[in-house]
Amino acid sequence: MNYRFQFGVVWENMPQLLEGAWLTFQLGVFAFAGGAVIGLLGATIKTYGPWPLRMLVDGYVVFITNTPALIQIYFLYFGLPEVGVRWSNEACLLIGLTMNAGAYLTLILRAGFLSVRLPEIEAGQTLGMSLIQQVRYIIVPHIAKSIYPALANFFIVVLVMGTSVGALIGVDELTGQAINLSTVNYRWLEYFTVVAGMYVVLTFIASIGLALLGRWAFRVKARIF
């Protein structure tokens, strides 16, 4: 094997890779935040809502969780323009990841809802709390402690790394930037070796941030990795 590594070409283009890493992190954060809102609403409906709304949420969850995220993003990017709806590639990726996250987070948060002890709910009702107040002051703090590790893992594994599918529709996140740059000088092995290390660093940073947030906001002793 006579292959000679030339990492110098990668270091020369490190600013572009850092821009891609920053976009990857932003997409992960925004998709998770949007998905958490959808998931909280969906879990509330599945637990307390009327049956027509429960069926609607069930249909959404079943469809999203049983189809690949890439197909959902392709539908937004390639399918909707056929009916006159055109979004940017970044918007399609963000919306697709958000909708995908919302379905899975509905299931995760639903499990948290079911773990809330009945006396706590009854105490809230006795105090005259509305459903929204019960969710805000009783249920959310409880499930934050009980399922926080699952939420943190979902953010890291599915969203931070899942954003790489954006490279297939031309989004210049970390993987997309690596593909664009490596096609110029064909140093694929060097670029993707460095990018793999950058994903590890991103995951490590996200793990530390989530662990500190969990300990500060919810008193959860979340583990790093």
Q: Which CATH number covers residue 151? A: 1.10.3720.10
- Does residue 2 lie within any of the structural domains? no
- Does residue 225 lie within any of the structural domains? no
Q: Which residue did the predictor score with more confidence, 113 or 99?
A: 99
pTM above 0.85, yes or no: yes
What does the pLDDT read at residue 6?
85
d(C-alpha 107, C-alpha 102), whole Å: 9
- Does residue 93 lie within any of the structural domains? yes
Q: Is the pLDDT of residue 42 over 80?
A: yes
Contacts of 60 (CB under 8 A, 6+ apart): 42, 103, 106
Q: Which residue did the predictor score with more confidence, 85 or 156?
A: 85
Structure tokens at 74: 């392709």
What does the pLDDT read at residue 1?
60
d(C-alpha 81, C-alpha 108), whole Å: 33
- Does residue 80 lie within any of the structural domains? yes
Range of the domain at 115: 8-217
Nearest to 138 by CA among 127, 148, 149: 127
Please count the structural domains in the chain. Answer: 1
- Does residue 223 lie within any of the structural domains? no
- Does residue 16 lie within any of the structural domains? yes
- Does residue 161 lie within any of the structural domains? yes
- Does residue 3 lie within any of the structural domains? no
Structure tokens at 100: 């995908």
Helix ranges, the chain (H): 8-12, 14-48, 51-65, 69-74, 89-114, 118-126, 131-134, 140-154, 174-185, 188-217
Confidence tier at 221 by pLDDT (50, 70, 90): low
